[in-house]
Amino acid sequence: PCESGNSMPWFGMDIGGTLCKLVYFEPKYITKDEADAEVETLKNIRQYLTKNSAYGKTGHRDAHLQMDDVCIRGRRGTLHFIRFPTSEMGNFLALAKSKGMANLVTTVCATGGGAYKFEENFKKEVNLSLAKFDELDSLIRGMLYIEMTNPCECYYWTNPTDDEKCQKMPYDFSKPYPFLLVNIGSGVSILAVQGPNDYRRISGTSLGGGTFLGLCCLLTGCNTFEEAIELATSGDSTRVDKLVKDIYGGGYSRFGLPGDLVASSFGQMNSKDRRNTVTKEDLARATLVTITNNIGSITRMCALNEKIERVVFVGNFLRVNPISMKLLASAMDYWSKGTLKALFLEHEGYFGAVGCLLQFTG
Ligand code: ADP
């Protein structure tokens, strides 16, 4: 029997600066009472969410991330992962209303800044109350839950500097503490996690995924993250950046700096001739490398300060972005002489949404 506060549907929403992440729990078995009580609207919503993989022009369900047969609050079911741009919130609310959401008296668990910004809109437009949760609490809780539930959630990259040999390998994260959690969303937050309920936000930077996308759109005229990553994939950042060897003719051996190291990001672009020879692809790659290396170097300093050796990178900046993952992996390895380990998680951007779904107790 379902307690009133636990009545379906179960959603968790993380309304971020760029993307809104929606996690939906679809129960496997519905009790007879529930089936009888399940109003038509609810059935329609369940079918709409689970049968489609695109919602309107901008919503997507990440079917490859779907988790079947998970247990939440004693119920078995499937977790579905859906995202859309936060800028489409108006359309999302209109869609929710057209599907009859407003007729269901429900509470939706929500986190992220948008849980505050859009709270009134949810109430007025779809008659939904938001149960708000802190985004960093949710992030950690969701991440620990998914990592425990999915046996192949956590991985690392072997030989990250060698494209031929580089491989994704499963990592046993069953004894997680302590670790650094670096969330690369629009901006970046760095947390030191000592235990399930013991963490501090130790640092952050405003130069994050939003910066990459914003600068890339400005410099190349691209319009989407996917496009920006595609451009970067075929570009060469060394035509944009000034390397140690561009200054020294070789390495700066006295201090162990190899010739191929970036000395100055975008450092060639003061020359008009150089500007005339670089491509959009090169500029996209340089932007990606600049932002990623900056996050990597802030992370290293944090790890050193906190004396923590394992770093878990999450957030949607890493979506379809192996270039940045490999760069972070090799930067952690190189600068720490092998003591720091960069780890990654399959559900990279969804932990906040999962965590707030888990925290809801009705
Ligand atoms: P936030 O909660 O701040 O929105 P996310 O973890 O969702 O943060 O990450 C947002 C970042 O992810 C963007 O700044 C961009 O770099 C990257 N990203 C990945 N996929 C997309 C997408 N489809 N649209 C926009 N940004 C995307």
Q: Ligand 1 mean position to 156 CA, how many Å?
A: 21
**Residue type at position 8:** M
State whether the beta carbon of 157 lies less than 6 angstroms from ligand 1. no
pLDDT tens for residues 195-215? 999 999 999 999 999 999 999
Q: What value does the mean pLDDT take over residues 91-119?
A: 91
Percentage above 90 pLDDT, the chain: 84
How far is 356 from 23, CA to CA, in rounded Å? 9
19 Cβ below 6 A of ligand 1: yes
Residue 5: predicted pLDDT: 45
Ligand 1 mean position, distance from CA 322 (Å): 15
Beta strands (DSSP E) in the chain are 10-15, 19-27, 54-55, 59-61, 67-72, 75-85, 107-111, 129-132, 154-158, 167-170, 179-184, 188-195, 198-205, 242-243, 262-264, 310-314, 341-345
209 Cα–ligand 1 center, Å: 6
- Tokens 């923590």 belong to 308
**Atom number of ligand 1 nearest to Cα 348:** 6
Task: Supply the residue whose CA is at minimum distance from atom 17 of ligand 1.
Answer: 317
CA distances from 104 to 15, 42, 46, 72, 164 (A): 21, 8, 13, 22, 54
Output the six-digit token pair for 130.
Answer: 């938001």
Report the atom number in ligand 1 closest to the C-alpha of 83. 23
Q: What is the mean pLDDT of the chain?
A: 93
Residue 3 pLDDT exceeds 70: no
Residue of 60, 186, 292 to test ligand 1 pocket, by largest number of atoms within 8 Å of CB: 186
Gap between the Cα atoms of 198 and 242, Å rounded: 42
Tell me if the pTM is above 0.80: yes
Q: What is the pLDDT of residue 362?
A: 55
**Range scoring the smallest mean pLDDT among 143-152, 159-168, 184-193, 289-298:** 159-168
296 lines ligand 1 (CB under 6 A): no
Q: Is the beta carbon of 17 within 6 A of some atom in ligand 1?
A: yes
Q: Are 20 and 92 in contact (CB under 8 A)?
A: yes
> Helices 280-306 and 225-233 meet at what angle, rounded to 10?
100
Question: Could you report the per-residue pLDDT of 225-273, keeping only the tens digit for each?
Answer: 999 999 999 999 999 999 999 999 999 999 999 999 999 999 999 999 9
Q: How far is CA 272 from CA 109, 269, 278, 279, 290, in A?
A: 53, 7, 10, 13, 21
Rounded Cα distance between 139 and 350, Å, is 8
Taking the C-alpha atoms of residue 13 and residue 9, their distance in angstroms, rounded to an integer, is 13
Decide: 59 in ligand 1 pocket, CB within 6 A. Answer: no
ipTM for the whole predicted complex goes beyond 0.90: yes
Look at ligand 1, atom 8, and give the residue with the nearest C-alpha.
Answer: 185
d(CA 97, CA 8): 17
Q: Is 16 in the pocket of ligand 1 (CB under 6 A)?
A: yes
Atom of ligand 1 nearest to the CA of 112: 2
What is the rounded average pLDDT of the residues 163-191?
96
Separation between Cα atoms, residue 217 and residue 205, nearest integer Å: 20
pLDDT of residue 4 exceeding 50: no
CA distance 159 to 315: 23
Calculated CA dihedral for residues 61, 39, 26, 88, nearest 10 degrees = 30
Q: How far is the CA of 21 from the centre of ligand 1 (A)?
A: 10
**Is residue 114 lining ligand 1, measured as CB closer than 6 Å?**
no
- C-beta of 293 in contact with ligand 1 (< 6 A): no
Q: How far is the CA of 351 from the centre of ligand 1 (A)?
A: 13
Token pair 């809109």 in the structure block, residue = 121
User: Which residues are annotated as catalytic?
Assistant: 135
Q: Whose CA is nearest to atom 16 of ligand 1?
A: 209
What is the C-alpha to C-alpha distance for residues 172 and 303, in angstroms, rounded to an integer? 20
Mutate-to-test residue for ligand 1 from 316, 350, 351, 356, highest number of ligand atoms within 8 A of CB: 316
Cβ–ligand 1 distance for 350 under 6 Å, the answer no
